[in-house]
Chain A
Amino acid sequence: DIPMTQSPATLSLSPGERATLSCRASQSVSSNLAWYQQKSGQAPRLLIYGASTRATGIPARFSGSRSGTEFNLTISSLQSEDFAVYSCQQYNTWPHTFGQGTKLETK
């Protein structure tokens, strides 16, 4: 298995602020990394795949980047609907492991 480590566990910010969430792979996963958003009581939703490509319908304020085995999800200016749990997932190697999630909460 490839453990995926997300940080921080919880991020407290205000609407309008910039959020940066991190995900680290224990070994190379190339750019085979996805980010998902999960709002309370809802199923996850694909945000980013290929480390930096936004999924269909995802606003431009969401962006993804990669540096080696470190991945970031950035939300440029937080909207009220962005407060949720964000999970990364590598799909380079079986099994396709998820990170433990980062909860983005209102400060």
Chain B
Amino acid sequence: EVQLVQSGAEVKKPGESLKISCKGSGYSFTSYWIGWVRQMPGKGLEWMGIIDPSDSETRYSPPFQGQVTISADKSINTAYLQWSTLRASDTAMYYCARLYSKYGHPYYMDVWGRGTTVTVSS
């Protein structure tokens, strides 16, 4: 079974750092891009960025460029989303998703993780 397993809920204080994970199984991890999507409370989906685990090429949406870092460790089939300095406005649900890919080009998100809740509060 193809699945993405995300790390558990996090509660952090403003200014702290955080790294959440997304582990793929049941498929060739390096054959598909992985993306991260933010969903703030009561709001819609926001495409943050994606990574090609085979070579760690990344692409970010402008609002998230410089605010987060997406990385991957192909040896353990895991992608990451990290913050160096959290803000209260980072409070949200974060989903990882596999992107259907053809000839190395990423398309739609065909498999989703269950999400990681991040709460940032003093």
A residues within 8 Å of B by Cβ? Answer: 1, 32, 34, 36, 38, 42-46, 49, 55, 87, 89, 91, 94-101
**B-chain residues with CB within 8 Å of residue A1 when the two chains form the complex:** 61-62
In the docked arrangement, what's the CA distance between A96 and B48, Å? 9
B27 in the interface, Cβ–Cβ < 8 Å?
no
CB of B109 within 8 A of CB of A34, answer yes
Q: Are B44 and A101 neighbours in the complex by a CB distance under 8 Å?
A: yes
B111 and chain A: residue at smallest CB distance? A46
Interface residues on B, range: 20 to 34
- Asked if B45 and A87 sit within 8 Å, CB to CB, the answer is yes
Most buried by A among B97, B107, B114: B107
Report whether A87 and B112 are in contact in the complex, using a CB–CB cutoff of 8 Å.
Answer: no
| A-B contacts, CB under 8 A, total | 62
Q: Quick check: B61 and A95 within 8 Å, CB to CB?
A: yes
Q: How far is the CA of A62 from the CA of B46 in the complex (A)?
A: 24
Chain B residues with Cβ under 8 A from A32's Cβ? 107
B residues neighboring A (CB under 8 Å): 35, 37, 44-47, 49-50, 59-62, 95, 97, 99-100, 106-115
- The majority secondary structure among interface residues of chain A is loop
Decide if B59 touches A95 in the complex (CB within 8 Å).
Answer: yes
A99's nearest neighbour on chain B, judged by CB, is: B44
Q: Does A43 contact B113, Cβ atoms closer than 8 Å?
A: yes
What CA separation (Å) do A32 and B108 show in the bound complex?
A: 8
Instruction: Check if A44 sits within 8 Å of B61, measured CB to CB.
Output: no
**CB proximity of A21 to chain B, nearest CB, Å:** 14
| A35 CB to nearest chain B CB (Å) | 9
B60: nearest chain-A partner, CB-CB: A95
Distance (Å) between the CB of B64 and the closest chain A CB?
A: 9
Kindly list the 7 A-B residue pairs having the minimum CB-CB distance in the complex, ordered from nearest. Answer: A95-B61, A34-B108, A43-B112, A98-B45, A101-B44, A100-B44, A49-B108
- Residues of B contacting A98 in the complex (Cβ-Cβ under 8 angstroms): 37, 44-47
Instruction: Give A34 Cβ to nearest chain B Cβ, in Å.
Output: 4
Closest chain A residue to B48 by CB distance? A95
